[in-house]
Chain A
Amino acid sequence: AQSVTQPDIHITVSEGASLELRCNYSYGATPYLFWYVQSPGQGLQLLLKYFSGDTLVQGIKGFEAEFKRSQSSFNLRKPSVHWSDAAEYFCAVASDTGRRALTFGSGTRLQVQP
C-alpha cells in the first residue's frame, strides 16, 4: 500500500532563509506526488504536483520540489521564506493500484521568525 512520511513535525526558519521540507513515499511504480499547504482555519491548497517528465517541478508562491526516485523522496524547497509562508505543509501520493484517491502525510508545521 502507498504511504507518505514527513519526518519533520515542526520546523522554524528565519524570514529570508532557505527552506526544505522532507517527504518520503513508499510505492513500487512511478507515483503521482503532490504538495499542499494549509493556512490556519483554511482548507488545503495545491502548491505543485509531479507525475512525469522533468524531476524538478515549479509551483506557486515560489516553491519547487524535486523527485528523486533513488531516494523515494519529493522534498519541497523555497530559496527565501516569507512570513506569509507560515502554515502546515502536506505531501501526498496517488497511485494507479489499489486506492486511487490521495494518501497524505501527517504534515510539517512551518513557523517563520522575523
Chain B
Amino acid sequence: ETGVTQTPRHLVMGMTNKKSLKCEQHLGHNAMYWYKQSAKKPLELMFVYSLEERVENNSVPSRFSPECPNSSHLFLHLHTLQPEDSALYLCASSQDMGLNEKLFFGSGTQLSVL
C-alpha cells in the first residue's frame, strides 16, 4: 500500500462514452501526476499538478481532461477516446516538485477502448 489509491482498477469503454478515472492520495503531498503506460513504450507524463494548479500539460489531446479539486484528489475525464488510448493510466504523488522527490504511484487503471 503506497497511500495512493486509483479507481477503477479496470475500465472498458466505447469510443463514444464518457468516463472518469479517480486518484486519491492520503500522504499529504502537494504534487500529483498522471502517467500513461503503453506496452513496450516508456511511461509518458501527461499532466502535473502542484498545489492544485496545473503546471504541466505534456501535449495531451483534449479528449483527456484533468481535474484537481484539492491536493488529495485528481481526476482524469475521458471522452471520445480512440483504441490507441488503451493503456495503463498511473497516478502518482510527491511531497513537492523538487528534483529529488520520490514519486508514490497508485496501482493504475487498465483502460481498454473498444
- Please report A residues at the B interface, Cβ cutoff 8 Å: 4, 9, 32, 36, 41-46, 49, 51, 90, 94-96, 99-107
Contacts and interface: CB of A to CB of B under 8 A. Distances in A.
A99 B56 contact: yes
Given A101-B45, A104-B42, A107-B42, A46 B99 contact: no
Given A43-B90, A43-B105, A101-B56, A106 B100 contact: no
| Chain B contact patch, size range | 20 to 34
Contact of A43 (B4, B56, B100): B4
Grouping DSSP codes into helix (H, G, I), strand (E, B) and loop, the A interface class, with mixed when no group exceeds half, is loop
Contact of B99 (A41, A94, A107): A94
A101 B48 contact: yes
A58 B33 CA distance: 26
Interface of B: 2, 4, 6, 33, 40-43, 45, 48, 56, 58, 90, 92, 97, 99-100, 102-103, 105-108
Contacts of A46: 102-103
Contacts of A103: 42, 45
A49 B42 contact: no
Contacts of B108: 42-43
A49 B4 contact: no
